[in-house]
A and B are shown apart, each in its own frame.
Chain A
């Protein structure tokens, strides 16, 4: 499972509230990604990180911010949640970790967080 955990695994919140999702990895991978997956749209990249404090936007970044203050944690924040942000959120990693054998293009996914915004 590439040592990736996501928390929480499920969350129900109300419109307008802030929400932070956490992705934690234990294998020192350089790259980390946040995706959302919705029926009819597939997996879409929200933000990604290519190192500590180095982040960039993906294709659906509006309404989301991220932070990476240490290698192992990548946080996704919804500043003011909206119903359109109801989705399943996946974190992924790539780049040689402790095992050293994975390529930088090969992404491995965490278990996901199901977020419902009422």
Chain B
């Protein structure tokens, strides 16, 4: 059973701080990694994806991938109250070509004004 693990939180940070969200995965063959943001009562929204080891930056968001450690993280700089949401990590399954994702259970982030 392929697994994606996330700390459920809640992770609480003050406004303006850096929020760091972490994810580990069990399938060593996974190639693609995604971060989704989900506000309460809403559907998941894709905010970042990363395919190669290292860092990928998009605005206030930075995704970091370390395939050797089977670890992916999301940094949110200058956190805002509007960033308060559940963040879901997802990874592709190795093998086949049917583009399935396995999701973690999510980390609840609260940004305090």
Chain A positions within 8 Å of B, measured between CB atoms, are 31, 33, 40-45, 48, 50, 56, 58, 90, 94-95, 103-112
Report whether B44 and A106 are in contact in the complex, using a CB–CB cutoff of 8 Å: no
User: Nearest-CB distance from B91 to chain A (Å)?
Assistant: 10
Q: Could you tell me if A105 and B98 are in contact, using CB atoms closer than 8 angstroms?
A: no
Q: Which B positions have Cβ atoms within 8 angstroms of A? A: 32, 34, 42-46, 49, 88, 90, 92, 98-101, 103-106
User: Could you tell me if B104 and A105 are in contact, using CB atoms closer than 8 angstroms?
Assistant: no
Q: Known contacts being A31-B99, A106-B34, A106-B49, is A90 close to B88, with CB within 8 Å?
A: no
Q: Taking A48-B98, A105-B32, A106-B34 as contacts, is the C-beta distance between A41 and B105 under 8 angstroms?
A: yes
B43, A107: Cβ atoms closer than 8 Å: no
Judging by beta carbons under 8 Å apart, are B98 and A43 in contact? no
Given contacts A90-B44, A105-B34, A109-B44, list 13 more A-B pairs with CB under 8 A: A41-B105, A42-B88, A43-B103, A50-B99, A95-B99, A105-B49, A105-B99, A106-B46, A107-B90, A107-B101, A109-B43, A110-B43, A112-B43
